[in-house]
Each structure stands twice: as C-alpha cells, then as structure tokens.
Amino acid sequence: MSFNYLMKNKLLNALRLSGPGVLYAAAAVGVSHIVQSTRAGAEFGLGLVWVVILANLLKYPFFKAGAQYSAVTGKSLLYGYKRLGTWALLLFVLITFMTMFVIQSAVTVVTSGLTNHIFSIPLSVQTTSVVLLAICSLILLIGNYGLLDNLVKVIVAALSLTTVLAVGFSFFGDIEKNAPPVSFNFNNSHHLYFLVALIGWMPAPLDVPVWQSVWTVAKRKKTKTTVNQTLMDFKVGYIGTAALAVFFLMLGAIIMYRSGQNFSPKAVPFAAQFIGLYSNALGSWAMPIVSIAAFLTMFSTTLTCLDAFSRVMQESMVQLFGHKFSKKDWYIFWLSTTLTGTIVLLFNHLGSMKELVDFATTVSFLFTPIFGILILKVMNSNALPPNWRYGKSDKLLGAGGIILSTILLGYYLSLTS
C-alpha cells in the first residue's frame, strides 16, 4: 500500500469526520472577522491584536463546552441547561429570542452588501436580503444538515487561503500613509464602544457553543466519532478562526491604517472597500476569486445562523414542552419566526450597516457573563463523568473571561448612563 494512498485515505477520513467544527468556523468567520476585525486594523493598526488574541483565549472553555458536553453525553447543552433547572433553559430561550433577529439581520445585511456589489444587483439591501433569506430557507428545508455540512468545508477553505495570501503579499506593497497614527484609548468613549462591539463577537457570541453542541449531536447520529475526534474537529475550527481573525486585522492594518481612508458605514460601499483590500495586495486578477470567496463565506454565515436559531429554539421547545408537536413542526415554526422578525427589522430599523453590526455585537457582549456562568455550571455538573468535567485550567480561563467581561461591561455601562 503506497504512502500516497495512505495519505489520501487519511485526508478523506478527516474530511468525513469533520463537520461541527467547520460549521462553527462558518458561523464565526463572518461579521466578526470580515467587518469587525478588518475595521479594528484599519482604525487602530495592530493596536488591538492583543484584544483579539485574549478574547479567543478567554472564550476557549465556553466554546469547547459545546463539543465536549455533546460528545460525552450524546445530548446538547440545552439538555444541560434544563438539568440545572427549567429557569436556566428559559433564560437561554429568552436571551436568544431577544437577540436572534438583530444577529440574523446583521449577518444578512453584510451578505446583501457583498451580493449587490459583486453581482451589480440594482436592488435595495433589504430586497436582496429577503431573496437571500428565501434561498437559505429552501436549502435548509430541502438539504438540511448534510448539504450544509458539505457546502461550508469548501467555502471556509477558499477564503482562508486567499486571506493568508493577501496578508503575505501586502507586506511587499507600496502603500502611502498620509494620516497620523491613532492609538486606542480606554478613556475615549467611541474607542470603548468599538472595543465592546469587537469583543462581543470575537470569535462569536456565547450562544454559539449551544449551536456547536446541537450540530455535534446531529453529526454523531450520521457518523460515529469518538470524543477525542470530536474535540480535535472543534480545536482545528477554533484555532483556525482565531488565526484568521488576526490575519483580517493585519490586512486592514497594513493596507488601510493611516491611509486616510475609512470604511463606509453602508453595506455596498463597504463590500467594495473590503474586496479592494485583496486587489491592492494581490492584484486585479484576485478580485473574482476573493469576491466569490467573500460572498460564499458571508452566505454560509447567514445560512448557518438561520439554521442554528431554528434548531436551538426547536430543541428548546422539545425540552420544555415534550413532543406535543413534532421536531419538524417546531423547526419550521422557528425558521418562519426568524425570517419574519429579521425582515421586519431590516425594513423598519435599518439605518447603516455599521450601526446594525455594532448594535448586534454589543447586545451579545451584554449577555456574555450570563452565558459564561451557565456554561461553566453545566461543565462541572454530575451529568458528566468526573474525568470529563472541567479541570483547573479551563475553570481559570473561564472565570477570567467572566470577570474581565463583567468589569468591562460595568465600565461601559457607566459611560453610557
């Protein structure tokens, strides 16, 4: 048996077993990376790299919980919340319902901006959003998890490769620096508001571990994987998205920082500027590749968020009310509810893309300590065997994340009051 044959089999097997980690990456590498990380670099240079790295480090135990709890117990974190008490699950449902429409709107409007720019569509962002949401709904209702699983593997790989190449080539470009440097200042309220918005979705909001756990349960029903294989899939996705966040920040820092340009708050002009970063670094030949990769990445984020909200609310209803209605009925109900709420928000409250994104990410940040406490309680409950409960390192990282986010939240609220 040849070495090439063995390597090919190992690669194919790894791709087959991967899934929830890639879906997590598809959900994470969206607004937080394409919009917020790139803006961080464009506005403050490399000054906020430490924030991106620290946020990914401190949130690691919370995201790891989604994969670990489900792999060990065969159930999602929603089951873990219910075991803590019905109050915990109801709290999660309430927070999710309060945030789902604004989060879905934020990712959809960025996707719409890219769509209108790339394909020269003369429609409003709102109208394009409705079309995109309809297409996503059709994919989910027809293809469900299997199609979603296979589609995003190629999408995430494409944008990852082009982003790494763009950063590499941008080091050799001749880019004028006309504006004075801007340093981040904690006493500057505008800087602090952006910091909160950046951390809120870096690498993703803390309801995403529940999404990860639901996807893990769905994957394990189709493919028998061990706990270690599931955790490896998660780690590859998590480390990869953390690294990409730094690359996106670097891209904004190298090309736009001190150039005298600022990202537009409108979706379509922002899309043009974002794609321009790649053409400036790689040349005009890269524009078609980057355009399609960026569009598909945001489309996959829109798709995965729509699936996740419908799926977690479906599972929550089953946990709360039993099987009075079928899972399919609950899924369709919450898919329809998410679509309706998102469309109403887009047509009635859409000011600028920047404002919507910052609002969505800030709202997520406000609930970070609550989600963090719930997850740590679940991961140290007797539902898990002692050897799979969190050890000292995960507890310390998690506690550090909760404490720091609470302090920052208090400081933020003091400035806004």
Q: What is the dihedral of CA 63, 220, 136, 157, to 10 degrees?
A: 70
Which residue range forms the structural domain that includes residue 107? 22-416
**Position 2 in a domain:** no
Residue 124 confidence class, pLDDT cut points 50, 70, 90: very high
Residue 166 confidence class, pLDDT cut points 50, 70, 90: confident
- The stretch 293-310 carries a mean pLDDT of 86
Residue 175 confidence class, pLDDT cut points 50, 70, 90: low
CATH number at residue 324: 1.20.1740.10
Minimum mean pLDDT range among 14-18, 20-24, 91-95, 120-124: 14-18
- The stretch 257-268 carries a mean pLDDT of 84
Minimum mean pLDDT range among 15-19, 37-41, 55-59: 15-19
- The stretch 268-296 carries a mean pLDDT of 83
Between residues 166 and 223, the one the model is more confident about: 166
Instruction: Tell whether the model's pLDDT for residue 10 goes beyond 80.
Output: no
Instruction: Tell whether the model's pLDDT for residue 12 goes beyond 80.
Output: no
How does the average pLDDT of the chain come out, rounded?
A: 85
pLDDT of residue 381: 93
**Position 79 in a domain:** yes
**Position 290 in a domain:** yes
CA dist 18 and 273 (Å) reads 33
**Position 6 in a domain:** no
CA dist 149 and 220 (Å) reads 13
Between residues 155 and 3, the one the model is more confident about: 155
**Position 10 in a domain:** no
pLDDT of residue 57: 95
Instruction: Tell whether the model's pLDDT for residue 324 goes beyond 90.
Output: no
CA dist 366 and 99 (Å) reads 11
**Position 109 in a domain:** yes
**Position 1 in a domain:** no
pLDDT of residue 62: 96
Instruction: Tell whether the model's pLDDT for residue 226 goes beyond 60.
Output: yes
CA dist 221 and 130 (Å) reads 33
Minimum mean pLDDT range among 266-270, 311-315, 404-408: 266-270
Q: What percent of the chain has pLDDT over 90?
A: 48
**Position 272 in a domain:** yes
For residue 203, cis peptide bond before it (omega within 30 degrees of 0): yes
**Which token pair is 377?**
């309680």
CA dist 161 and 45 (Å) reads 22
Minimum mean pLDDT range among 41-45, 142-146, 367-371: 142-146
Q: How many domains does the chain have?
A: 1
Between residues 296 and 213, the one the model is more confident about: 213
